Amino acid sequence: MGESRQKRLIALLSGPDRRGIVAELSGWIYRHGGNIIHADQHRDREEGIFFQRIEWDGGSEDLHAEAGAFQAHASTLGMRVRVALPDHDPVFAILVSRYPHCFHDLVQRWRTNEFQCRLACVISNHETVRPDCEHYGLPFHYVPVSAENRDEAESRQIEILRAVKPDFVVMARYMQVLSENFLGRLGVPVINIHHSFLPAFVGGKPYHQAHSRGVKLIGATAHYATAVLDDGPIIHQDVVRVSHRHGVRDLIRKGRDLEKIVLSQAVAWQLEHRILVYGRKTVVFD
């Protein structure tokens, strides 16, 4: 990390829209010796909400104090704000079941430093990826899940995750619905990949559902997990064309490529602090 990167702060802000917010925030950074590298903003005209992402080189030796002072100033403007500091390496964990394509894609991107973070562990309700985790040198935890032991299994998963303190968790085709209790106790964002263009074809076997409807486009959707199946705020989506000549196996093959790309992009945006959630929506900054 270069000297400039070592001083880089990133703020995500949201709050009631009013005149002068951009000037107030940029002026504060200027007055405190900072240098803005990139700034982007969005206004929801219907809701009257202002959103901004500001990336700047800090102007003080104590970046923690500068971040705290910036948050305090933004709060006086009615803004909700969080600031990412350069001395914190993000940590994430993976949940995966039997289909390993998204798991392998994420791990390879992490191993080649495409993701600037630490991958803490992998949790699965199947043994499928255990040999791969051993090959990659990743801690693997097998936690079987059934209707009878769901509460116990989730408690064990929470215990594992709390030990590694992730900033977020990725469901890389983890084929279980996380309970409201689990998500509340975990307390960090969970990114899921669903193998359809939501809100179409929620639930199981979406490629079979799509084939039976004769669709001409199939998609993949990365979204934040909620207790309601496939209903969380959408982060990223993409589609590919199909035709009457494509069977279910073709749709699955094409869809798996989409799933990897869409999920990895969502993870990259999470790591780069580009996503703000409000209600059932997201703002994803360029």
SS3 286: coil
Dist. CA 134–CA 63, nearest whole Å = 38
| Cα gap 161→120, rounded to integer Å | 9
Contact 138, 130 (CB under 8 A): no
| φ and ψ at residue 80, rounded to 5 degrees | -90, 135
B/e letters for 91-109, b = 16+ CB within 10 Å, e = fewer, are bbbbbbbebbebbebbbeb
* pTM for this model (two decimals): 0.92
Residue 9: closest CA among 256, 266, 29: 29
Q: What is the CATH number of domain 91-284?
A: 3.40.50.170
Residues in the chain, how many?
286
Distance CA 115, CA 122 (A): 16
Query: How are beta strands 168-171 and 217-224 bridged, if at all?
Result: unpaired
Catalytic residues: 230
The C-alpha angle with vertex 105 and arms to 101 and 108, in degrees rounded to 5, equals: 140
Domains 3-84 and 91-284 share a fold: no
The alpha helices in 78-205, defined as continuous H runs, are 101-111, 130-136, 150-164, 180-186
Looking at CATH, the fold of the domain delimited by 3-84 is given as: Alpha-Beta Plaits (3.30.70)
Residue 87 DSSP code = T
Q: β-strands 190-194, 217-224: how paired?
A: antiparallel
Going from the first residue of the chain to its last (286 residues), give the mean pLDDT of each consecutive group of 10, the final group possibly shorter.
Answer: 72 95 96 96 94 96 96 96 93 97 97 96 97 97 94 97 98 94 96 86 84 89 91 94 90 91 98 95 95
Residue 229 identity: L
Where along the chain do its domains lie?
3-84, 91-284
